[in-house]
Amino acid sequence: MKRPALSSCLPSCLFFFALLVSFATAAENEQYKQVYIVYMGALPARVDYMPMSHHASILQDVTGESSIEDRLVRNYKRSFNGFAAWLTESEREILASMDEVVSVFPSKILKLQTTTSWNFMGLKEGKRTKRNNLVESDTIIGVIDSGIYPESDSFSGKGFGPPPKKWRGVCKGGRNFTCNNKLIGARYYTPKLEGFAESARDNMGHGSHTASTAAGNAVKHVSFYGLGNGTVRGGVPAARIAVYKVCDPGVNGCTTDGILAAFDDAIADKVDLITISIGGDNGSPFEADPIAIGAFHAMAKGILTINSAGNSGPQSSTVASIAPWIFTVAASNTNRAFVTKVVLGNGKTVVGRSVNSFELNGRKHPLVYGQSASSSCGDASARFCSPGCLDSKLVKGKIVLCDSPQNADVAQAMGAVASIAKSRNGDVASIFSFPVSVLSEDEYNTVLSYMNSTKNPKAAVLKSETIFNQKAPVVASYSSRGPNTIIPDILKPDITAPGSEILAAYSPDAPPSKSDTRRVKYSVDTGTSMSCPHVAGVAAYLKTFHPSWSPSMIQSAIMTTAWPMSASTSPFNEMAEFAYGAGHVDPIAAVHPGLVYEATKSDHIAFLCGLNYTGKNLRLISGDSSSCTKEQTKSLPRNLNYPSMTAQVSAAEPFKLTFHRTVTNVGMGNGTYKAKVVGSKLKVKVFPEVLFLKSLHMKKSFTVTVSGKGLEADQKFVSAHLIWSDGVHSVRSPIVVYATN
Ligand SMILES: *[C@@H]1O[C@H](CO)[C@@H](O)[C@H](O)[C@H]1NC(C)=O
Ligand SMILES: *[C@@H]1O[C@H](CO)[C@@H](O)[C@H](O)[C@H]1NC(C)=O
Ligand SMILES: *[C@@H]1O[C@H](CO)[C@@H](O)[C@H](O)[C@H]1NC(C)=O
Ligand SMILES: *[C@@H]1O[C@H](CO)[C@@H](O)[C@H](O)[C@H]1NC(C)=O
Ligand SMILES: *[C@@H]1O[C@H](CO)[C@@H](O)[C@H](O)[C@H]1NC(C)=O
């Protein structure tokens, strides 16, 4: 069994990869059973169809057992069809060949991947931001995550009326869990095994953080021990929250069978959109990717799914959220940064990164390098302060230098009073359980050479301060990058939003950092997990102005109005659109996009036809008698009506390719839009170059032809932007062409 990951990269991420390996070895044994997801597509339209008895009879047939209680894990029966069950490899094979089954794939463990972030994006508090409060309070955000801390002020029901009439969900949060008119629903999907809490209560902190970022109430004077003091709030503070707990420390992540069940319920419960800061299932095709499956059925019902890109950057091809019916979010910084100064014995100060609320009384303490503080390890592991290496006699009462921030807790456990660590990327401030400052390589070397220069080196690690960071937004090093490994011609990620050092609600049932003994109601966290709910908040904000807009219209509006970003402003932006997609989310501009690129369910079916999904599987997924027309089978994935245009070409070969697109007028009654192409070494032709859109909702099609002499090896991708402008709106789409390796 493997599981999905929360996208805030806690050091524990490493642990469950070890877990995966042990499961894989056990799988060699024929009698070995594991949890498989049996995906059966859309629910049949027949009124007399009874999914649960159908699932039971399939299971009985395949296992030959009359009682399937021990086998069945869960049913998918409200929004789509299927079940999860303990199966052997040969049972899996039989099921996979059945007519009513689309795919059978193992349940895995995925990873979970502010006070100022909303101001930074331009969504200010008070009268200056136009809001439709009545509609906003009818908006329900479904949060698939690690649960929620229901007692948080961020989720208080004070001032809220009863839940929206459309709401079909329940409050099944387990023991000692009460919903209210803000937090209107709760369900949990933890494994039905001993040791797992039967509760939607957040025992990781992550779910409370993401929920409050998307839709938390405005709460004043919130800080992390005084740091970042201000008002925390979500993008749509008047909206309602429905929580689906799928992650738990017990599984060290989130089970995919639970995630699929959460989608099954959230869609039927009638949430307006789904935010899911979970990922890490890199490389699965759609029919074996639970988030892609769930989001497809959500899209078909008019519900947009917003998903984190992942925390596996800065390398290319690391983005794990790849379907075009998912809105995929990268993470960037904001103009607030936490810095932690280190004052050396010689009076020199170096500035590092961390969220350090501890005071060392300003007193200086002796410095020791991890490499010289070990009697049991070689230099190679001792300098990283690896577990088991530090000698407590040598570090007690001292500040220990470690070549990685990963083992700060080891130094603390051995009696150190603080730690100074080195980080290669160094663009993120994290919380530690004792005073830590993380330095860049250069500053770290400054400390090392100071240590060399004196007999009794000393230093003090100060409490963190916040600074104004002019170089924002910059994509974070950890944010996963494209290109898309499954559908090369769909650009991912789609957009970037604040994800670094976000202050939001937390759960006192979880430590704010590994081995931390403190318990807080608000904490600072970092990851694409944090940027995802920002975009969910923006999408919800947009929906309050345009309640009838489809998921693709909302996604398009947010993408085509994004703040342009530039590859040249930071090395972390180097991969340009593969790092930040269309750019940085701009909530205010997104309300009036002028034109949108719409893609309906049938456009997505045609897209699947082009990817060779035909016959039985296509019918099962679509839930109707769809079959691919000849034309659809030949339709190229890059011709899906997506707000970005991407194509993979062969290296060093001349190319000429065409994108077909259609825009819908959502601006004023009439408009004349002229095409402009900016920032390119590519030859781009748009036809026609002028679009007359005489009335609201009118559609016009055009083609974009891109040609070039062939991409050289050192210039693996080129990008440009198409901008449709009527003098008021700028409708901007990235065009990216890249070479295969
Ligand atoms: C219910 O949860 C709250 C908040 O965590 C806690 O303070 C209280 O003791 C719990 N009550 C019971 C009966 O477990
Ligand atoms: C936060 O700021 C408010 C108002 O400026 C102040 O009253 C409060 O004491 C501050 N809280 C902390 C923890 O610094
Ligand atoms: C400190 O001294 C050691 C041994 O003398 C040397 O190997 C190392 O390069 C020096 N480090 C710095 C940063 O000067
Ligand atoms: C679909 O199948 C055709 C014919 O087998 C093949 O040429 C084409 O490359 C396939 N397309 C994709 C996206 O796999
Ligand atoms: C658009 O509509 C306005 C008001 O109805 C009208 O004055 C204007 O001429 C129209 N523009 C075009 C290009 O049709």
Whether residue 5 is predicted with pLDDT greater than 70 in this model: the reply is no
- Residue 243 alpha carbon to ligand 3 centre in Å: 54
Neighbours of 78 (CB within 10 A): 17
Residue owning the nearest CA to atom 11 of ligand 4: 611
How much is the average pLDDT of 292-302? 96
Whether residue 98 is predicted with pLDDT greater than 80 in this model: the reply is yes
Is 53 a pocket residue for ligand 3 (Cβ < 6 Å)? no
Is 97 a pocket residue for ligand 3 (Cβ < 6 Å)? no
Atom of ligand 2 nearest to the CA of 229: 1
How much is the average pLDDT of 287-301? 95
- Residue 636 alpha carbon to ligand 4 centre in Å: 10
How much is the average pLDDT of 225-250? 95
Residue owning the nearest CA to atom 12 of ligand 2: 226
Place of tokens 């079916």: 605
Q: Which residue from 148, 176, 178 has its CB within 8 A of the most atoms of ligand 1, so it is best to mutate?
A: 176
Is 231 a pocket residue for ligand 2 (Cβ < 6 Å)? no
What is the pLDDT, as a whole number, of residue 34?
93
| Helix (H) or strand (E) run with residue 219 in it | strand 219-224
Whether residue 125 is predicted with pLDDT greater than 80 in this model: the reply is no
What is the pLDDT, as a whole number, of residue 741?
67
Kindly report the length of the chain: 741
Residue owning the nearest CA to atom 3 of ligand 2: 221
Residue owning the nearest CA to atom 4 of ligand 3: 452
pLDDT digits (tens, 9 = 90+) for 8-58: 533 333 223 323 333 334 444 558 899 999 999 999 988 999 999 999 999
pLDDT digits (tens, 9 = 90+) for 328-350: 999 999 999 999 999 999 999 99
Average pLDDT over all residues of the chain: 91
Q: Which ligand is nearest to the CA of 208?
A: 1
How much is the average pLDDT of 561-569? 92
Residues 6+ apart with CB under 8 A from 54: none
Q: Which ligand is nearest to the CA of 628?
A: 4
Locate 263 and state its tokens.
Answer: 């989608």
Is 176 a pocket residue for ligand 1 (Cβ < 6 Å)? yes
What is the pLDDT, as a whole number, of residue 117?
62
What is the pLDDT, as a whole number, of residue 568?
85
Is 178 a pocket residue for ligand 4 (Cβ < 6 Å)? no
**192-196, 215-219, 268-272: which has the minimum mean pLDDT?**
192-196
Whether residue 225 is predicted with pLDDT greater than 90 in this model: the reply is yes
Rounded Cα–Cα distance for residues 594 and 589 (Å): 10
- Residue 555 alpha carbon to ligand 5 centre in Å: 29
Give the pLDDT band of residue 283 (cuts 50, 70, 90). Answer: confident
How far, CA to CA in Å, does 605 sit from each of 115, 439, 626? 41, 50, 8
How much is the average pLDDT of 283-312? 94
Q: Which ligand is nearest to the CA of 178?
A: 1
Is 636 a pocket residue for ligand 4 (Cβ < 6 Å)? no
**Catalytic positions, please?**
145, 206, 529
pLDDT digits (tens, 9 = 90+) for 721-739: 999 999 999 999 999 999 9
Whether residue 7 is predicted with pLDDT greater than 90 in this model: the reply is no
Locate 1 and state its tokens.
Answer: 């069994």
How far, CA to CA in Å, does 113 sit from each of 249, 313, 395? 14, 12, 33
- Residue 150 alpha carbon to ligand 1 centre in Å: 11
Whether residue 97 is predicted with pLDDT greater than 90 in this model: the reply is yes
Whether residue 241 is predicted with pLDDT greater than 70 in this model: the reply is yes
What is the pLDDT, as a whole number, of residue 632?
82
What is the pLDDT, as a whole number, of residue 727?
93
pLDDT digits (tens, 9 = 90+) for 532-541: 999 999 999 9
Give the pLDDT band of residue 200 (cuts 50, 70, 90). Answer: very high
pTM of the model: 0.92
Residues 6+ apart with CB under 8 A from 602: 626
Whether residue 195 is predicted with pLDDT greater than 80 in this model: the reply is no
Give the pLDDT band of residue 116 (cuts 50, 70, 90). Answer: low
Q: Which ligand is nearest to the CA of 727?
A: 5
- Residue 408 alpha carbon to ligand 3 centre in Å: 22
Residue owning the nearest CA to atom 2 of ligand 2: 221
